[in-house]
Amino acid sequence: MKTAATISVLCCLWAVAEAEEAPVEQVALNLPPAARSSSHSLDDARLQLDHALIGNVEIRIDDVFEDANDLSAPYKLANALHISTRVRTIAEQLLFHTGDAYNPHALAESARMLREQRYLSDATIEPVRYNDDNTVDVVVHVHDVWTMSPGISFGRKGGANAVNLEFEDTNFLGLGKQIAVDRSSDVDRDAWRFAYKDPHLFGSWWRLGASYADMSDGREESLSLTRPFYSLDTRWSLGVGGFDSTSTQSQYSLGEIVNQYAVHQQAFDLGGGISEGLQDGWVRRWITGVRYDARDFSLAPPKDGVNAMVPEDRVLSYPWVGIEVIQDQYRQTRNLDQIGRTEDLHLGRSARLELGYASSAFGSTHDAVVLNGTLQAGFEPLEDHYSISSLALNGRLEDGEVHNGTLEVGSRYYMRQSPRRVLFGAVSASFTSNLDPDTQLLLGGDSGLRGYPLRYQAGTTRALLTLEERFYTRWQPLKLFNVGAAVFFDAGRTWGTDPYALAGGSGESLGWLRDVGVGLRLGSARSGLGNVLHIDVACPLDGGKDIDSVQFLIETRRSF
């Protein structure tokens, strides 16, 4: 959706230009051979053995459109109107400075951190010269993108439309700060949203985030100040955040609202941690904090045909302790989840476990042991075959029983068949125990089952399978989009009875639901959105007569 918004501000610049079907400009950002010349070796191990130091650090920032001398007038005008990223904005994100000991891990991680920024399409950091004074000169080379995106966008999934009117700049004045004003209308609510993010407050590693939303069913406010573990070698973190929201929450059956109530949520989080940094390829962090989450439920404005079963108020207030472990193992690749962009695939292991105790002495409505945990493991079983598996566990132990317990397992598999063709498969399953009354386990057009209405099925257990043949073309229309396509198959179902989701009055699942479809993918080549626009046509193979024979989906995702 946001890709469409970018078109609105740029289309006037390209309307007068002749349409071009240029190959994808693979912005590898490699330095010319002359820049690498040196009478000394640039071998990383040798440089570290010689205790080399970082010498001159040069930062090069490319325009949105390269090769200015060969560009037509509209592209040159776009470069002129664009506010380039400032050199100090890039420098603030580097994990090394002149005079530091040369560390190839710091260079590699700095490049990964830069590639995560939405206002850059690519980044490389390379040592280019070993000097006689035992210093190493380094070049940081990044590529700017267009980051200001006012306009109107439209989306559709699960048979429901969504419209956005927005102004967003992910690199305000070239400083790396994000501002956004958004007017949205979707199946849940209409809303005005305002947001501001400063990832380097006053040039530090502290991050400030603030947002406010005026919604048709309430409001939402949030504020946070954090100094995260911004790198693998960071030794400490600290953060505080608050959230206050009033809204109407709905519960669904067969894509229709069957229960509705108002909820006022207040949340507060204070936490931090310590670490010995990166050691032998692994990071271990000890973390702790305090959480407060209060939810007050009440009647919502009445609506015909909709029940008004209101859950009991709930407060969770608890201290917690935990551990986080990360393996430093990444792989650079292209054309997996993005089109024509460098991707940093984590093929190592990572785990995080938190254990807390909520007590009436802290203001909780129930005494409970609170458990939250995640586990992820990446593998490369064969060359150009990547497997990433994950597990997440959350819940509370109250009076010897698990409440609001969820166990989610999933795996993604990428099999590269050629540089521009990938067979992708994903499987996931969710298991629950005694879900809170305000929580539903749903399956539908907005959760991976593209041929069906959104929030179509509900239950206590869910499974989803997706198979896709992905195509990544060289076509880059008007130098704005990287074009791809997909042929896909989805299959999913729920098990168990949901008290709100009635199928034929029994509350039982409809069984396996399958769909097939084709889709167009438009990746942002020159905008700071970093998104992929999905335009899909899906046909359901199962379900009742209440389902349309064809579903049209238009949505923006962070990946293919």
Lowest model confidence (mean pLDDT) among 5-14, 166-175, 176-185, 322-331? 5-14
Mean pLDDT of 383-410: 97
Mean pLDDT of 152-173: 72
Q: Which helix (H) or strand (E) holds 479?
A: none
- The confidence score (pLDDT) of residue 507 equals 56
pLDDT(9) > 50: no
* pLDDT level of residue 258 (50, 70, 90 thresholds): confident
Lowest model confidence (mean pLDDT) among 317-326, 383-392, 525-534, 535-544? 525-534
Tokens of 452: 């069906």
* pLDDT level of residue 72 (50, 70, 90 thresholds): confident
**Cβ-based neighbours of 114, under 8 Å, separated by 6 or more:** 90, 93, 120, 123, 125, 140, 142
Mean pLDDT of 350-355: 98
pLDDT(132) > 50: yes
d(CA 231, CA 428): 30
Percent of the chain with pLDDT strictly greater than 70:
88
Q: What is the mean pLDDT of the chain?
A: 87
Mean pLDDT of 454-465: 92
Q: Are 117 and 90 within 8 A, CB to CB?
A: no
* pLDDT level of residue 33 (50, 70, 90 thresholds): very low
Lowest model confidence (mean pLDDT) among 239-243, 462-466, 546-550? 546-550
- The confidence score (pLDDT) of residue 501 equals 62
- The confidence score (pLDDT) of residue 4 equals 39
Distances (CA, A) of 541 to 75, 445, 450, 536, 547: 46, 14, 11, 16, 10
Distances (CA, A) of 174 to 82, 123, 387: 9, 16, 37
Q: Which helix (H) or strand (E) holds 540?
A: strand 532-540
- The confidence score (pLDDT) of residue 199 equals 96
d(CA 398, CA 416): 47
d(CA 330, CA 110): 13
Lowest model confidence (mean pLDDT) among 37-41, 77-81, 112-116, 428-432? 37-41
In the chain, the domains with their CATH numbers are 31-144 (3.10.20.310), 230-242+276-293+302-557 (2.40.160)
- The confidence score (pLDDT) of residue 388 equals 98
pLDDT tens per residue, range 228-240: 999 999 999 999 9
Name beta bridge partners: 325: 284, 351
Question: Which residues in 342-480 belong to E strands, given as ranges?
Answer: 342-346, 349-358, 368-382, 385-398, 401-418, 421-433, 441-443, 457-459, 461-472, 475-477
* pLDDT level of residue 172 (50, 70, 90 thresholds): very high
- The confidence score (pLDDT) of residue 525 equals 84
Lowest model confidence (mean pLDDT) among 70-79, 132-141, 211-220, 360-369? 70-79
Global pTM value: 0.86
pLDDT(241) > 50: yes
Tell me 186's DSSP state: -
